[in-house]
Amino acid sequence: MQNPRHSMLGNLLVVLISAVVVGFILGYPGWLGLLALSGWCAIEIHQFSRLVHWLQNETDKEPPEGTAHWGDLFDELSRYQKRHRSRESYLRGVITRFQQSSAALSDAVVIIDRDNNLEWWNRSADRLLGLRAVSDRGKPVMNLLRDPRFIRYFKKSNYSDPLDLPSPVNNDLQIQYQISEFGEGDRLLVARDITRLLQLEQTRQDFVANASHELRTPLTVIRGYLETYLEQELPRPLMRGLEQMQQQSRRMENLVSDLLLLSRLEASHQISDEQPIQIHGMLQHIFQDGQALGRDKGHNLSLETDKEHDLLGQEIELYSAFSNLAFNAVRYCPAEGEIKLRWWVDDEGGHFSVRDNGTGIESIHLPRLTERFYRVDESRSSSSGGTGLGLAIVKHVLARHGATLTIKSKVGKGSTFSCHFPLDMVSKAQQTEPDEDEDSNDLADDASGPADKQSKATG
Ligand code: ADP
């Protein structure tokens, strides 16, 4: 399109010059020039008012017809209007398709604005979370999803882990909430029905627990007979076979014990009966057991504890977790290794760490180490007598205490396994020291995993 300003000025000049020329011929150049200018202005005002009227009242219709530069302007407006209409209809289509597809989702999808108010949600959110289409729009999400665990989760700025809770409208439904941030402080909440998934997980846990329990009795009988036979004077080849059978049956017993312990730990995500634990005494036992376990390898074990602070928790579980870490260091460190056990408290909480200068673990294995039966080196782990469940037990015990496990390792330099407990699990140390020998036996009897690992490794 020609520039409307140039076209308008050009037209004006032509009209003015023509009027003045005609005016000269007729003898009234000034009057005719003025007349032409007034006529020009009248036409411009008329066209301008048509444009304003169209913009204010009739933008849904085609723009009016115009002459000269007004014609160009109206044509351009008409083209712009068509482009705008087709874009609008495309965007409307996208929104409709988005709404239809999100309505078809079985997961609830909720958009929450930066002021924590509900902005939009799909149909599944009505069913799973009880949000009502008209009356709840614009209300604060925390007024409608009132469970304190959800409120704590919502207020957190880190949403890397999902949150599992019963549905606010139906206690039989288990919902997994996951929040993602977008835009400027807006949040997208996705709530998924995981009831069936949890039922399957429960069935799996029950199966493992029942199978492990059922295996215990036949194993005890087999071991009983083996011990009786091994006390007899039998031919050497037969003795060798029986000794191997005894070794393997002991391994199976350890496996069954660890599986049962893991099933018990999985049954609930939190400890219910926390007690003050004299952590110094407990670590002394683990230290002594570690020394006995690593005697043949000539390890140098050291222990450093903060005697001023104890820990609240479940003693048998924590003994199992700490000793698993300490005995792993003893078992996987090559001869004459340096192993350091340490308990300390700082502003962030209580920490227990086991550091060794062993072979270390390649970084690709670290994220998977706490998976059941995950082993870095299958042959070495089996020959060391491990069940492959030690670190899985540690992870579950720590989770039940609100604690976390970190693993740092460098190949050729060694590894550090650290447990970090929140500050509210740390308590001031009690005055009385327990009878160490007596306590040691109690713990060794109860915490079947590590105690058995020790006897297994020395046996
Ligand atoms: P296992 O019963 O096989 O020891 P764990 O779950 O306790 O099972 O450990 C998993 C794997 O992690 C082990 O098989 C071993 O390869 C590796 N591992 C654990 N602790 C150490 C350590 N201190 N140094 C080197 N490797 C380790």
* Ligand 1 centroid – CA 388 distance (Å): 7
Atom of ligand 1 nearest to the CA of 375: 14
CATH code linked to domain 197-266: 1.10.287.130
Q: What residues flank ligand 1, with Cβ below 6 Å?
A: 324, 328-329, 332, 356, 358-359, 361, 369, 375-377, 381, 386-392, 415
pLDDT of the residue at 431: 62
Atom of ligand 1 nearest to the CA of 329: 23
Minimal-distance CA residue to ligand 1 atom 23: 329
Half-sphere exposure of 94 (CA within 13 A, CB side): 6
Q: pLDDT tens digits, the chain, 459 residues: what are they?
A: 566 677 778 888 888 899 889 988 888 888 888 998 899 899 889 888 888 888 888 777 877 887 777 888 888 888 888 898 899 999 999 988 988 888 889 999 999 999 999 999 998 999 999 998 778 989 999 999 999 999 999 988 789 889 999 999 998 999 999 999 998 889 999 999 999 999 998 899 899 999 999 999 999 999 999 999 999 988 989 999 999 999 999 999 999 999 999 988 988 788 878 889 999 999 999 999 999 998 889 999 999 999 999 999 999 999 999 999 999 999 999 999 999 999 999 999 999 999 999 999 999 999 999 999 998 887 666 666 788 999 999 999 999 999 999 999 999 999 999 999 999 999 998 765 544 444 444 443 344 433 343 333 332
pLDDT of the residue at 432: 53
Half-sphere exposure of 161 (CA within 13 A, CB side): 5
pLDDT of the residue at 314: 93
Half-sphere exposure of 361 (CA within 13 A, CB side): 25
Atom of ligand 1 nearest to the CA of 389: 6
Residue 373 DSSP class = T
pLDDT of the residue at 182: 92
Minimal-distance CA residue to ligand 1 atom 7: 390
pTM of the model: 0.66
The dihedral over CA atoms of 287, 288, 291, 293, expressed in degrees to the nearest 10, equals -100
pLDDT of the residue at 51: 84
pLDDT of the residue at 440: 41
pLDDT of the residue at 262: 92
Atom of ligand 1 nearest to the CA of 417: 23
Question: Which residues in 388-425 are b (16+ Cβ under 10 Å) and which e?
Answer: bbbbbbbbbbbebbbbebebbbeeeebbbbbbbbeeeb
Atom of ligand 1 nearest to the CA of 333: 24
pLDDT of the residue at 439: 43
pLDDT of the residue at 443: 41
Architecture of domain 275-455: 2-Layer Sandwich (3.30)
Which of the listed CATH numbers 3.30.365.10, 3.20.20.480, 3.30.450.20, 3.40.50.300 matches domain 105-193? Answer: 3.30.450.20
Look at residue 128 and give its three-state secondary structure: helix
pLDDT of the residue at 129: 94
* Ligand 1 centroid – CA 405 distance (Å): 14
* Ligand 1 centroid – CA 76 distance (Å): 75
Collect all residues with Cβ–Cβ distance below 8 Å to 36 and sequence separation of at least 6.
15, 16, 18, 19, 20
Minimal-distance CA residue to ligand 1 atom 24: 332
pLDDT of the residue at 10: 83
Pair type for strands 338-346 and 300-305: parallel
Residue 296 contacts residue 333 (beta carbons within 8 Å):
no
Minimal-distance CA residue to ligand 1 atom 10: 375
Minimal-distance CA residue to ligand 1 atom 14: 375
> Domain ranges in the chain?
4-98, 105-193, 197-266, 275-455
